[in-house]
A and B are shown apart, each in its own frame.
Chain A
């Protein structure tokens, strides 16, 4: 009798637990789908909801003010701001807010703006407004100030004359970085909300949660088809997949690779393109172990890039060699580096005196074990996969790789001696010019030269590139620089992202762009 009672109690408890969960789920989806449906039915308004894993403070995208850290990415992606020129599919410049530019002399650039471009508040976007915007940018944004080195700006009607302090062959390219979004600085940036010239206007912003947009009624470049759009920050890949499945969102950016098979059918469309977003490892030269040339080379030999891309990323990526992908003249196979060869790595370490004397599978030298503190972060889903895969392949060679994949990575790598290898993601050719990567990562004063890498040759080549205006010559120098950092094994480029967005099949006009910048446009529509 007691036994039966107990079983009944057990079954009831299980049922109760289940009902609690189903209760939750039903409630949420009911209320949300109800709200989207009412939105859709009121006055036949078209609403579009987008789920994004990267729009959050952790990613330095706390708001949409392009003059704040990396927030320009959100500004340009969600169609709020536009830059003077934009990149085409080959990463060449095309007119956007500006009509044309002319390089008057080494230090002087003349930019002619388009007629009739207005901010979303109706104000004309003339040379005076652009001047105010760029002046504010270089005053508050350290990276932009360094990139642009602006001496003075003159505004005359629709013509802008920019003088730089030093020759800046890539000035116009830099102005097309997301931080170059032209905003109306007079309207301010209260709560991180700015007024741009793009097809959408921000009405509400909650950091790391959501962004509400409405159609820009004054859009200068055609009619905007979507009336209201919402960007939801969904940092968890599974939540993102479920949200797209049950219709809470219409499209998603940053879907987990393991969930791709769920959407490979008629109800969804994929839009994808190769990008220059590299997944790379940066070596910390402040660490005595990493200073050892053999150790760095063995690390480069010990990472199975092919397996990482083809299996762990489901083939949605490109194997990395140097800092730039295949689709650039100065990228892909033009440089040479180590490929996966565990045996070569083992004998290399053996020769360098790293031997496993105590039989635990981990090599030692002078009483020090070959321990690598590998720092990375989880918001780019490829990075934890790379970390765990590298941990296994390197263990086979005799490395003890200690993983710390944490959202708090910034604090750790800011210290000099708390890490050995930092694995991260970075758009190496975001402005269509190779210098971007080197200025940010490889020079003595680079903000992201976290490991204190220095090479005289790199410094000299960078100097040379800074004074070279011909793009083919710049490409040649970029090849030499890449080869140098690969010869030093200061960086290991594991793969490049194939950027994909998945949308419901009734969504049109959402097209992935090689720059990874432009997502919401006036053409975005929902049938």
Chain B
């Protein structure tokens, strides 16, 4: 485990960290107020003053893309964080205790896995109404079973090992065993699953916003910015390309980071 991190891992970690930092400190990085409308600047092409141009309402696209990172990246991280923690807790409990609870919970998760993800999320989001937090809830509701499946199967295999038996003999209660012995041993696969999921979740969140079920105007969010700009693809392409490229770059960075983390933790 104590291998030296590869150069790739360092590079992607730095890139991902800078994306996250940029979204946290977005307020300081924006050259203009991303919500300030100035109709006299409407549809300005990219220039030195506005490097990504301006949109219909004369708002600076670069500032909107940066502030949009907050909605897009931070919401995605919150989403992945929530489903990782909740999914893992459910999975570990099912795997460790088994029995009826396991049976019932796993059938419920089968139920969620049986639906096409985004379609189900659409239904949930439509039920809850628009808004980025509702979109996060909708995606969380459909995405947790994956984590509980991984956690459960890992827990089952760890549970069968002799050191767990030893811990039991030593008088540890289930809580202690789970926290001290099981969680550290299943941490790797869970982390890899969640790292690889960031990109997908970012796309799905942007997808919901694109369909009008995520961020509501005037909140800048990449998916909704693309949706608003799609009629300008032929006339003012920067309005749709800027958030599009931002989504592309962030998804690629988080996916490659996930890949290298997997290679690092699981070098086979």
Q: A413 CA to B14 CA in the complex, in Å? A: 51
- The B-contacting residues of A in range 464-500, CB under 8 angstroms, are none
Question: How far apart are the CA atoms of A412 and B56 in the complex, in Å?
Answer: 28
Q: Which residue of A lies closest to B259 (CB)?
A: A6
- CB-CB under 8 A for A261 and B235, given A238-B230, A388-B218, A393-B37: yes
Most buried by A among B37, B40, B233, B235: B37
Given known A-B contacts A312-B39, A389-B37, A392-B35, A238 and B217 have beta carbons under 8 A apart: no
Is B32 in the interface zone, CB < 8 Å from A? no
Q: Assess whether B39 is in contact with A258, with CB atoms less than 8 Å apart.
A: no
By a CB distance below 8 angstroms, the chain B residues around A312 are: 39, 42, 56-57
Interface flags, B31-57, vs A, CB<8A=1, else 0: 000011101101000000000000011
Closest beta carbon of chain B to A34's beta carbon, Å? 25
Is the CB of A311 closer than 8 A to any CB of chain B? Answer: yes
Q: Is B165 an interface residue (CB 8 A)?
A: no
Which of B35, B39, B56, B233 has the most chain A CB atoms inside 10 A of its CB? B39
CB closest residue in chain B, given A387: B217
B234 within 8 A of A: yes
Q: Mark A231-261, 1 if CB is under 8 A from B, else 0.
A: 0000001100100000000000000101101
Q: Which of A237, A385, A393 contacts B56 (CB 8 A)?
A: A385
Task: Give 1 or 0 for each of A297-314: 1 = CB within 8 Å of chain B CB.
Answer: 000000010010011100
Given contacts A238-B230, A241-B234, A392-B37, contact A258 B56 (CB under 8 A): yes
Q: How far is the CA of A388 from the CA of B217 in the complex (A)?
A: 7
Confirm or deny: A24 has a beta carbon within 8 angstroms of a beta carbon on chain B.
Answer: no
Q: Which chain B residues lie closer than 8 Å to A405 at the CB level?
A: 217
- B231 contacts the other chain (CB 8 A): yes
Contacts of A395 in B (CB 8 A): 35
Counting contact residues on chain A (CB < 8 A from B), the size range is 20 to 34
Chain B residues 41 to 90 lying within 8 A of chain A, measured CB to CB, are 42, 56-58
Q: Are B42 and A259 in contact (CB under 8 A)?
A: no
With A311-B39, A312-B39, A393-B37 already in contact, the answer to whether A262 and B234 are too (CB < 8 A) is: yes
- Interface size on B, as a range, is 20 to 34
Residues of A within 8 A of B56 (CB): 258, 312, 385
In the complex, whether A403 has a CB less than 8 A from a CB of chain B is yes
Per-position contact with B for A373-415: 1 when CB-CB < 8 Å, else 0?
Answer: 0000000000001011101110100000001010000000000
- The answer to whether B216 touches A258 (Cβ under 8 A) is no
Which of B37, B232, B259 lies in contact with A258, CB distance below 8 A? B232
B129 nearest CB across to chain A (Å): 9
B118 smallest CB distance to A (angstroms):
16
B194 → chain A closest CB, angstroms? 21
Note all chain A residues with C-beta closer than 8 A to B234: 241, 259, 262
A423 CB → nearest B CB, Å: 14
CB distance from A324 to the nearest CB of B (A): 26
The smallest beta-carbon distance between A91 and chain B, in angstroms, is 32
Residues of A within 8 Å of B37, CB to CB, are 389, 392-393
A458 shortest CB reach to chain B, Å: 34
The docked-state distance in angstroms from the alpha carbon of A261 to that of B45 is: 15
Task: Assess whether B236 is interfacial by the CB under 8 Å rule.
Answer: yes
- Determine the distance from Cα of A385 to Cα of B218 in the docked complex, in whole angstroms: 11
**Complex: chain B residue closest to A239, CB-CB:** B231
A258 CA / B236 CA spacing, docked (Å): 8
Q: A309 to chain B: closest CB distance in Å?
A: 10
Interfacial chain A residues near B218, Cβ < 8 Å: 388, 391-392
A237 B231 Cβ-Cβ under 8 A: yes
Interface of A is mostly: helix
- Cross-interface CB contact of B39 among A256, A262, A304, cutoff 8 Å: A304
Q: Which of B160-202 contact A (CB under 8 A)?
A: none
Provide the B211-246 mask, 1 if CB < 8 A to any CB of A, else 0. Answer: 000001110000000000011111110000000000
* Complex: A311 Cα to B38 Cα, angstroms: 10
Which of B40, B58, B234 has the largest count of A CB atoms less than 10 A from its CB? Answer: B234
Which chain B residue has the least Cβ–Cβ distance from A395? B35
Q: Give the CA-CA distance A385 to B42 in the complex, in Å.
A: 13
Contacts of B36 in A (CB 8 A): 392
CA distance A393 to B40 in the complex (A): 14
**Which chain B positions have C-beta within 8 A of A387?**
217
A258 to B37, CA, bound (A): 17
Q: How far is the CA of A258 from the CA of B42 in the complex (A)?
A: 11
Instruction: From known contacts A258-B56, A391-B217, infer whether A238 and B39 are also in contact, taking CB-CB under 8 Å.
Output: no
B56, B230, B231, B236: most-surrounded residue (chain A CB, <10 A):
B231
- Which residues on B sit within 8 Å (CB–CB) of A256? 231
CA distance A258 to B55 in the complex (A): 11
Which chain A positions have C-beta within 8 A of B233?
238
The chain B residue with its CB closest to the CB of A310 is: B39
Q: Which residues of A contact B35 (CB under 8 A)?
A: 392, 395
CA distance A262 to B231 in the complex (A): 11
Cβ contacts under 8 Å, A241 to chain B: 231, 234
B42 touches A311 (CB 8 A): yes
Q: How far is the CB of A415 from chain B (nearest CB, A)?
A: 15
Is A238 within 8 A of B235, CB to CB? no
| B217 and A403 form a contact (CB under 8 A) | yes
Give the distance in Å from the alpha carbon of A259 to the alpha carbon of B231 in the complex: 7
Bound Cα distance A307, B217 (Å) = 19
Q: Are B231 and A258 in contact (CB under 8 A)?
A: yes
Q: For B42, what are the chain A residues with a Cβ–Cβ distance below 8 Å?
A: 311-312
B176 to chain A, nearest CB (A): 41
Tell me the bound Cα distance from A393 to B57 in angstroms: 11
Give the distance to chain A from B251, nearest Cβ to Cβ, in Å.
12
Interface string of A402-434 (1 = CB under 8 A from B): 010100000000000000000000000000000
A259 to B239 CA separation, bound complex (whole angstroms): 13
A237→B234 CA distance, assembly (Å) = 12
B104 shortest CB reach to chain A, Å: 37
In the bound complex, residues from chain A placing their C-beta under 8 Å from that of B232 are 258
A163 to nearest B CB, angstroms? 52
Evaluate contact between A259 and B39: CB separation under 8 angstroms: no
- Extra pairs beyond A256-B231, A304-B39, A392-B37 (16, CB < 8 Å): A6-B259, A238-B231, A241-B231, A258-B232, A261-B235, A262-B234, A262-B235, A307-B39, A311-B42, A312-B57, A387-B217, A388-B218, A392-B36, A392-B218, A403-B217, A405-B217
Q: List 14 A-B contacts (CB under 8 A).
A: A238-B233, A258-B231, A258-B232, A258-B236, A259-B234, A261-B235, A304-B39, A312-B39, A387-B217, A388-B57, A391-B218, A392-B35, A392-B37, A405-B217
Which 4 residue pairs are nearest across A and B when measured between Cβ atoms?
A307-B39, A311-B39, A392-B37, A256-B231
